[in-house]
Amino acid sequence: MPIEFGIGSDIAIKWYNSWTTDLLDSMGKVDIADPLPEAVTLGKIPSLPTTVHVRDGGTLIPTAAEWTIDNRAMTVEDFAKPGPITLQVTTPEYRNKKQAVRVYVVPENALYFVNSGGYDTADYKLMGSYMKGTLANPGMADQMYTPAEGRDWGYVSADALPSGSNVGDIFSTVRYLNGGNASNSPKGTDLTYSFDVPNGTYDVYAGFNDPWTNTSRRANFLINGTNTGAVTFTPSSVRAHKGISVSGNKLELTVRNTASQDPMISWIMIVKPDSAPPVNDSAGLSADSLTATSAALQWDARQGAASYKLYRSDREQGEYSVMYSGSAREYTDSGLNPGKHYYYKVEALNATGESIHGLSSAYQVITAEQTAADVAARLTTLEQPSAGAKKLKLPVVPQGFTVAIVSSSAPSVIQTNGTITPPWSETTVTLELEVIRTSDDSKAMTMPLTVKVPAYTPSPGGGPGEGSGGNSGGNPGSGSGSNSNGGQSGGNPPVADHSSPQPIPEPQKDRSILELQAQLDQKGVAQSRVEDSVIDAAFKVAPSTADGHRLVELRLNPVSGATTYEVILPVSALMDQGESHVFNIVTELGTVELPATLLAKDIEGDGIVSVRLVRTELPQKVADQLGTEYGVKLELNLDGHAWPSGNELMLRLPYRSLQDTQQDSVIAFAIDANGVATPLPQSHYDSSSGQIVFAVTSRTGNYTVVSVDHTFADLAEVQWAKKAMEALAVRGVIDAQASGDSRQLHPKLEMTRGEYVQWLVTALGLNASLGKAFSDVNEKEPYYEAVAAARSLGITAGAGDGRFLPESTITRQEMMTLTVRALTAAGLVDSELTSADSLTRFRDASEIGSYARDSVALLVDLGIVAGYNGSVKPLAEANRAESAMLLYAMMSKLVWKN
């Protein structure tokens, strides 16, 4: 059986009752180099080349081309319906090769083009791009008809559900009436689309297909109540009804079921045949973005066009030069001069190389003056300081601009005024610079820039600080003064002095503060020891807050050259205090919040507790992945013994958020011993303190904070859920899938029970020993461990008979019930303290199952669920976008609290 190779990667296997070897000559791959049209005009035979060029090795060979459809001559009837059509091109003088060429038939004056189900399939977007300027629904594939909210077209019933995906096509995606069968349907039998249109005459086209190839599916197609006949679902078909008269400003299209299967439709196109096609002399030519030296241009698709030419001139009536020639509809023109005028024209050519409508009108572009952002973007490196340098040398900027340091990852080494304090060991410092244009005070930030500051080189009589230190050795410090430790050799770093005076607590409005002065050792550890009596005094003067807490804040002041901050406390400090006492240990690296009853009573009372925050250099793999070089390691020790398990501490790490940073994108990552970075879903950014906040349950851990900037290509039509889905995706709760160069979250895909439990358990960070698994949950599925943990924690008991039905689509009431049970397991809510009284506001409250009523009511009371137009829709199946919205509201209300 010969295999026939087509254009590009196409192959075909055809059945022949008999064949000879000479047939193989026409089976080989033939690469046609000429641009061919991807869209042709409805009702017209396209203009196609009679000669094409094929590649034979490195040579282009001209050869005759014959165009047919189904091995016959093309007719106008072949192009009478919109949608895809396959042409055949034969090269009789070159192996007699016959190849398939797929094109799309597109009307010139379409008013609506609906891809039922709402999926942005590639063919829908392609066809829509050729209808630009006439469509009333550009960029909106489908929607529900709700005229009170301004949506004056769409499907009528909330029970009309989508099926398909963005990777399908306009026939494989459908919208169907869920439960719309003739024998027992409370939902009726009609799947209806309504369009509010001006009175007049319209042509209606509709595509039908059954992706399940159910031969028993039957339906009629009605237009404004008139039955136009039975629908053919298999094979796929296109219905064409021309000259439909509308007199009541409404056009209704109905697929009415006549058998025992749900009615469905793939796509709809409504054309206003008596409207003149739009005259667009500009060809849609526009600049998507402009810089001082480049212009990113784009233009509209033109029916029948196989290629385009873009021309440029520096005068509107001047001579134009070709800047681009090809089949793309975008081009970035680089190498332009700042603040200059340029003019562009575009020309569409058919497959024979003839101009379709001539050159467009001129489009003017004025490149930007050099901005602060332009200058900042060019600042990518800094001059490295030499040993002993006292001031960082800033880069030179053009006249009319200034530059300054606005943030330093180690202000004890490099201050924002550029002053350098030599560290004890070579230190890498990350700086952010701000460029200001003096003419308008506009500002822009550079990318983070790093410098390596050489280690301090000891010399007689001085250390890394300013001043003499008062002895021949000279410990780091500032100012003059005597020191009883004279006689040390010059430049020796200091050692911890545990006999230093103890701080005096300072009572504040909501806490008492102990200002600690740390001693720096040779390894860069800044250490401070606090005595039991001082802690006792601090709690005594700390005011009691409204919730009964007393807070003592231990502030370890920054120390030049320190890479580790350590506070040593007596064990009794964490045992003897009241239940509501809390410590905050504050350093420039971060803040640790721990309760004063952290330790068990059976620990010896004369031991010491060590709390350390260490600035760490991340493994190169992690640094490349996250775009940051450093992290912070938390170490908790009890005289060398392990920290008691099961305790939860709060850790706050500083993060300087840039002006355009989305707060939901700032998250903490944990880096394990194998150098694997895992996002912490419970982490959130506290804008009031400039810190990322998260809980830790281990005595040691390495963490870092970054802003994760991911763009997802399929959220344009779910703007209401975009923020929620992005926030959960960057935290690793929602799985993203790569599609070419883009990432997708599939917001309209149905949500399964297994996947929702996985999202829920991940978001709340729930853990449990895995008990007996459900019989229908495969251990290879990504949700296996989450479902097993949920069973162990009592979140779910399954669906009966030891099954969980993980691949079944989840309903809204199931989702809300699982959510409340998970919140109860996490200790975030008390499910017993609720009343179903709040459900009376919903007109469909009677539809809520008895098992779900308390859960739904609790989420309503907490403000996590608000309902939709007076309904809570407990039985409706949820998609990924709706599920993300519920989780985002849950996390915002109960987890991401400052």
527-536, 614-623, 718-727: least confidently modelled range: 527-536
Position 698 pLDDT exceeds 80: no
pLDDT tier, 487 (very low <50, low <70, confident <90, very high otherwise)? very low
Residue 598 near residue 578 (C-beta atoms within 8 A): no
Position 439 pLDDT exceeds 90: no
Average pLDDT of 715-744?
Answer: 87
Structure confidence at residue 484 (pLDDT)? 34
Nearest to 85 by CA among 212, 273, 238, 233: 238
Q: What φ, ψ does residue 348 adopt, rounded to 5°?
A: -100, 135
Other C-beta atoms lying within 10 Å of the C-beta of residue 705: 24
pLDDT tier, 94 (very low <50, low <70, confident <90, very high otherwise)? confident
3-state DSSP of 432-497: EEEEEECCCCEEEECCCEEEEECCCCCECCECCCCCCCCCCCCCCCCCCCCCCCCCCCCCCCCCCC
Structure confidence at residue 544 (pLDDT)? 80
Structure confidence at residue 483 (pLDDT)? 36
Burial of residue 842 (number of CB atoms within 10 Å: 0-12, 13-18, 19+)? buried
503-512, 615-624, 769-778: least confidently modelled range: 503-512
CA 833 – CA 823 distance, rounded (Å): 13
531-540, 742-751, 781-790: least confidently modelled range: 531-540
Structure confidence at residue 245 (pLDDT)? 95
- Alpha carbon dihedral 17, 19, 23, 28, in 10-degree steps, equals 70
Q: What percent of the chain has pLDDT over 70?
A: 86
pLDDT tier, 815 (very low <50, low <70, confident <90, very high otherwise)? very high
Q: Are strands 330-333 and 295-298 parallel, antiparallel or unpaired?
A: antiparallel
CA 447 – CA 815 distance, rounded (Å): 43
CA 848 – CA 68 distance, rounded (Å): 60
Tokens of 607: 């031991």
Residue 270 near residue 112 (C-beta atoms within 8 A): yes
63-72, 598-607, 625-634, 841-850: least confidently modelled range: 598-607
> What is the average pLDDT score of the chain?
84
Structure confidence at residue 496 (pLDDT)? 37
Structure confidence at residue 598 (pLDDT)? 61
pLDDT tier, 600 (very low <50, low <70, confident <90, very high otherwise)? low
Q: Which residues contact 77 (CB under 8 A, 6 or more apart)?
A: none
Residue 413 near residue 560 (C-beta atoms within 8 A): yes
Tokens of 227: 């039955």
29-33, 40-44, 517-521: least confidently modelled range: 29-33
According to the per-residue pLDDT averaged within each range, which of 276-280, 588-592, 710-714 is highest?
588-592
pLDDT tens digits, 318-360: 899 999 999 999 999 998 888 789 999 999 999 888 998 889 9
pLDDT tier, 673 (very low <50, low <70, confident <90, very high otherwise)? confident
pLDDT tens digits, 3-16: 655 555 556 666 66
CA 488 – CA 505 distance, rounded (Å): 34
Q: Are strands 237-246 and 59-64 parallel, antiparallel or unpaired?
A: unpaired
CA 609 – CA 600 distance, rounded (Å): 13
More confident residue, 546 or 579: 546
Structure confidence at residue 467 (pLDDT)? 36
Query: Residue 883 — left, alpha, or beta (φ > 0 → left; ψ -120 to 50 → alpha)?
Result: alpha
Tokens of 167: 């990777």
Residue 180 near residue 186 (C-beta atoms within 8 A): no
CA 316 – CA 365 distance, rounded (Å): 11
pLDDT tier, 769 (very low <50, low <70, confident <90, very high otherwise)? confident
Position 773 pLDDT exceeds 90: no
pLDDT tens digits, 422-434: 776 788 899 999 9
Position 195 pLDDT exceeds 50: yes
pLDDT tier, 568 (very low <50, low <70, confident <90, very high otherwise)? confident
Q: What percent of the chain has pLDDT over 90?
A: 38
pLDDT tens digits, 119-178: 999 999 999 988 877 888 988 899 999 887 778 999 998 889 999 999 999 999 999 998
Q: What's this model's pTM, rounded to 2 decimal places?
A: 0.48
Partners of 436 in the beta sheet? 402, 443
pLDDT tier, 674 (very low <50, low <70, confident <90, very high otherwise)? confident
